[in-house]
Amino acid sequence: MVPIVQFSNTIRGIRNMNFLDLPLFTISFSTFTLIDLLAASTNAFNGALLARKPNHYRNFTIVGIILLGLIGGIGGGVSRDVILNKIPSAFTNPLYILLCVVAGIFAMFIQFNTGQQFREGLFSFMTAFSLPWYAVVGVDAALRANVPILGAIVVGIIGPTAGRYFIDLTCGVTPKHFVKGEWFVGTAVLTSVVYVICYYSGLSIGPASLISFLVGFSFRITALFKGWEEPEPEDQPKPPEPDRKTLGAAIKEELDKKNQEQ
């Protein structure tokens, strides 16, 4: 008799429940969240483009490429929030996953309908664009959590680079962090240091974020155009290097080709 009464009470409770009041998700539009959403969606776009590059592609399905874009988009933010002992924003605010999925699908459309040089240039530009934003969000979150300066800078590095790390590992490629390139991690370090200076100078999040972004973005774009790369040990035996073009050389070649066709 008792189980029947308990079952009856459970059914009655379900009928009286207002499902509209259930905490399914939380949407916020603070300055911090808007910058984080911008960085996450841009990183998702980059992740889907990266998954289609010849040196990363491993016969991924459409769903697989979108998932890699999602990993690239929220991977850094989730890692940052876990380190700071917070529930990741991507799991409470549905806009993160929604925008990352849309960005991944859009990146696939770009990939299928444009030339190789255009894709390479777009990928480089969008990486330079998203990297400083994610660094800003990471170091700001760490500083507001009372993390010491050095630790905050490390969090500012993890935020924009963890997503790329996960994608590279999934694709069986040496992570970008550890190989010769146009100051990928260095840009995150520079942006984080500039933000720390702005933060302790008393600037609000808006001006501090903009200044830090402009410094980091300008440095990264200049490195891409000029071919600035991290140094390697001088006495290290080196395998033959592939022919790598700077972003400026690739864009010039593409424009020259179009002029010749006209």
Comparing CA positions, the residue from 18, 98, 106 lying closest to residue 65 is 106
Comparing CA positions, the residue from 152, 154, 101, 162 lying closest to residue 130 is 162
Q: Is residue 220 part of a domain?
A: yes
Rounded Cα distance, 93 and 181, in Å: 34
Q: Is residue 7 part of a domain?
A: no
Q: Is residue 262 part of a domain?
A: no
pLDDT (tens digit per residue) in 70-127:
999 999 999 999 999 999 988 988 899 999 999 999 888 775 555 556 566 777 787 8
**Do 89 and 36 form a contact (C-beta atoms < 8 A)?**
yes
Domain count, the chain: 1
Which pLDDT belongs to residue 248? 60
pLDDT (tens digit per residue) in 155-210:
999 988 999 999 999 999 999 888 888 888 999 999 999 999 999 999 988 899 99
Tell me the C-alpha to C-alpha distance, in Å, between residue 80 and each of 141, 158, 195, 252.
9, 7, 17, 38
Full domain range(s) for residue 51: 27-229
Q: Is residue 201 part of a domain?
A: yes
Q: Is residue 121 part of a domain?
A: yes
Tell me the C-alpha to C-alpha distance, in Å, between residue 187 and each of 160, 181, 193.
10, 11, 10
Q: Is residue 235 part of a domain?
A: no
Which pLDDT belongs to residue 108? 82
Q: Is residue 106 part of a domain?
A: yes
Predicted TM-score (pTM) of the model is 0.76
Q: Is residue 91 part of a domain?
A: yes
Instruction: Say whether pLDDT at 43 is over 60.
Output: yes
Find the helix or strand (DSSP H, E) in which 81 lies: helix 62-83
According to the per-residue pLDDT averaged within each range, which of 16-30, 76-90, 239-253 is highest? 76-90
Instruction: Say whether pLDDT at 252 is over 80.
Output: no
Rounded Cα distance, 127 and 120, in Å: 11
Instruction: Say whether pLDDT at 20 is over 50.
Output: no
